[in-house]
Amino acid sequence: MRRTQVVAALVGLVTGLFMLALGPVASAQTGYPPGPCTITVGTLDVGTVTVGQHFVIQIAPTCVFTVGASITVTVNGVNIPGKVANASGFVLVDVTVVSATQLSIDDPVTTPAVCGVNTVTASGPSATAQGGVATQTATFTLTCPATVPVASASTPATPIQSRLSLTGANTLRFVAIALALVGAGSMALVATRRRRRAF
């Protein structure tokens, strides 16, 4: 009986030592299964668009949104209601460039447009993201038609081509005409005096 207890104690001791020896090996496998997604913020450049163009932006964060979750979407700071993550964990934003100053988002919502960079931001719950929230920003550049600049204090007026501004150098023509008239008057005076002397 005593021998059985000693053998059981030895088996327990060996088993405990064996488990301690395996402990560091098991802890070295951290990250498996894969841990939460760490790229919770991202950006995307959609490219250049023009007035009148219609396009759809697919906002696809690296840490995808939770399927069916309500996503907060803003376009140039204006909230777009009713956005939900699709079956892929993405959000689609339908954009129409109405004019150089106005966008139509998903048809019912109008937002201001900017000649230059416009910003679409989506943020919402993500089951795979570390911290549980993912944010993705998409930008597109609106190319606006050139307009005639208005003269202001900071923007000088553009002179009309092929017409020089009037300066003091342009008086030469008038001086020449005046000298010609003085000369003609002098000649007329001399001629008149000669005639009188002749009589």
Per residue in 43-63, pLDDT (tens digit) is: 999 999 999 999 999 999 999
Residue 107 has a pLDDT of 81
- Domain membership flag for residue 107: yes
- Domain assignment present for residue 1? The answer is no
In a domain, 78, yes or no: yes
Please check whether residue 21 lies inside any domain of the structure. Answer: no
Question: Which residues span the domain enclosing 45?
Answer: 41-143
Question: For position 29, what pLDDT does the model report?
Answer: 37
Q: Tell me if 175 is assigned to some domain.
A: no
- Look up the CATH number of the domain holding residue 69: 2.60.40.10
Distance CA 195, CA 188 (A): 11
pLDDT in tens, the chain (199 residues): 555 554 455 445 445 444 444 444 443 333 343 448 898 899 999 999 999 999 999 999 999 999 999 999 999 999 999 999 999 999 999 999 999 999 999 988 999 999 999 999 999 999 999 889 999 999 999 999 876 454 444 444 443 343 334 445 556 666 678 778 888 887 877 777 776 666 6
Dihedral of alpha carbons 107, 110, 115, 121, sign: negative
158 exposed, middle or buried (CB, 10 Å; 0-12, 13-18, 19+)? Answer: exposed
pLDDT at 165: 40
Largest interatomic CA distance in the chain: 178
Specify if 148 maps to a domain: no
Q: What's the pTM value of the predicted model, to 2 decimals? A: 0.56
Residue 159, pLDDT score: 38
**The pLDDT of residue 72:** 96
Query: What pLDDT, on the 0 to 100 scale, is given for residue 8?
Result: 52
pLDDT at 119: 96
Q: Name the domain count of the chain.
A: 1
196 falls within a domain: no
> Is residue 98 situated within a structural domain?
yes
pLDDT of residue 100: 94
